[in-house]
Amino acid sequence: VKAKLDAILKTEQAEYLDNLLPASDDLLAEMESYAAEHRVPIADREVARFLEITARAADAKLALECGMAIGYSVIHLLRGMSDDGRVITIDPSDEMISRASDYLTRAGLRERTQIEKGYALEVIPRLNETFDLLFIDAVKEEYRGYLDLALPKLRIGGVVICDNLLWGGQVAGEIRSDDQQASTEALREFNEYFINHPQLRGEVLAVGDGLGYAVKVA
Ligand SMILES: C[S@@+](CC[C@H](N)C(=O)[O-])C[C@H]1O[C@@H](n2cnc3c(N)ncnc32)[C@H](O)[C@@H]1O
């Protein structure tokens, strides 16, 4: 039995853990400021760090990302991988691709990143690679579609990570506005699907905005 239902997620604990994270380096700090200023939703620092840790722990050589934005998560994934590691990432936005290319070049990681311009539901079926890690972080209503398309391309033992599964508290609580209805309901359905998926062993971690974490078992 869990010792205490609210043992971890109190404001005090969350603030403490946030402050415990080492400061971002100059490039990441610049990206965080850019994202805040231009309202680009990039991964929380703890989520980004989790990506780096997991890429390294899984010895991932090739990762697939749905939803690149400015490349903040790509940089973390690649920093967790050995020098021959690569990321294939998908985003339809010219503006995001331009910003990400610039940051990735400055990070010395542009050559290890294959940027696919387009919609993940259309791009994933064209990819013939086998992946070690899948990171889902694009349109919330499409998470199940991304997973269904990408899972056959993930090796057994490969890792699936999905961001925002608690969607700012709305998934387990109240939906804040009409425009959040469809995404929240889709995530509620997705969480059930993800947790009970016969090919996955996974759970939702209390990291960031709720981080799905699973290993492909069959
Ligand atoms: C939450 S952001 C990604 C953040 C990034 N993974 C990070 O942590 O730094 C979502 C991104 O998905 C992109 N996007 C929107 N529709 C998409 C689609 N159908 N397929 C792939 N990406 C999409 C948006 O342009 C946006 O840049």
Report the pLDDT value the prediction gives residue 1, as an integer from 0 to 100: 65
Report the pLDDT value the prediction gives residue 4, as an integer from 0 to 100: 78
Report the pLDDT value the prediction gives residue 6, as an integer from 0 to 100: 77
Report the pLDDT value the prediction gives residue 41, as an integer from 0 to 100: 97
Under DSSP, the state recorded for 83 is T
Residue 113 in contact with residue 81, Cβ under 8 Å? no
Report the pLDDT value the prediction gives residue 75, as an integer from 0 to 100: 98
Residue to mutate, 65, 93, 109, ligand 1, most ligand atoms under 8 Å from C-beta: 93
Report the pLDDT value the prediction gives residue 5, as an integer from 0 to 100: 74
Give the CA angle between residues 117, 39, 147 to the nearest 5°. Answer: 45
What are 213's strand-pairing partners? 161, 203
User: Is the CB–ligand 1 distance for residue 159 below 6 Å?
Assistant: no
User: Is the CB–ligand 1 distance for residue 180 below 6 Å?
Assistant: no
User: Is the CB–ligand 1 distance for residue 119 below 6 Å?
Assistant: yes
Residue-by-residue DSSP string for 93-148: -HHHHHHHHHHHHHTT-GGGEEEEES-HHHHGGG----EEEEEE-S-GGGHHHHHH
pLDDT < 70 positions in the chain: 1-2
Q: Which atom of ligand 1 is nearest to the CA of 47?
A: 8
What are 159's strand-pairing partners? 133, 215
Q: Cα(211)–Cα(205) distance, rounded to whole angstroms?
A: 5
Report the pLDDT value the prediction gives residue 29, as an integer from 0 to 100: 98
Residue 24 in contact with residue 107, Cβ under 8 Å? no
User: Is the CB–ligand 1 distance for residue 42 below 6 Å?
Assistant: yes
